């Protein structure tokens, strides 16, 4: 999944590593630490 959250300044295609540690999902409210990369 490629994060995209224009309201937080995260554009489509932003690498996960570039998402700020304090980012919160606007859909479910989970923090960045609650997600993991699935390959």
pLDDT for the residue 4: 64
User: DSSP per residue over 2-29, as a string?
Assistant: ---BGGGTB-TT--GGGS-TT-B-TTT-
pLDDT for the residue 22: 92
Question: Taking the chain, what is the end-to-end CA distance rounded to the nearest angstrom?
Answer: 10
Query: Would you say 31 and 24 are in contact if contact means Cβ atoms under 8 Å apart?
Result: yes
pLDDT for the residue 8: 78
pLDDT for the residue 11: 82
For 8-20, letters b (16+ CB in 10 Å) and e give eebeeeeeeeeee
pLDDT for the residue 13: 82
Successive 10-residue mean pLDDT values, the chain, 39 residues: 68 86 89 89
pLDDT for the residue 6: 72
pLDDT for the residue 31: 93
């Amino acid at each position: 999944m490629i994060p995209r959250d224009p309201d937080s300044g995260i554009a489509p295609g932003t690498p996960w590593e570039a998402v700020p540690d304090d980012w919160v999902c606007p859909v479910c409210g989970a923090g960045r630490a609650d997600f993991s990369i699935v390959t």
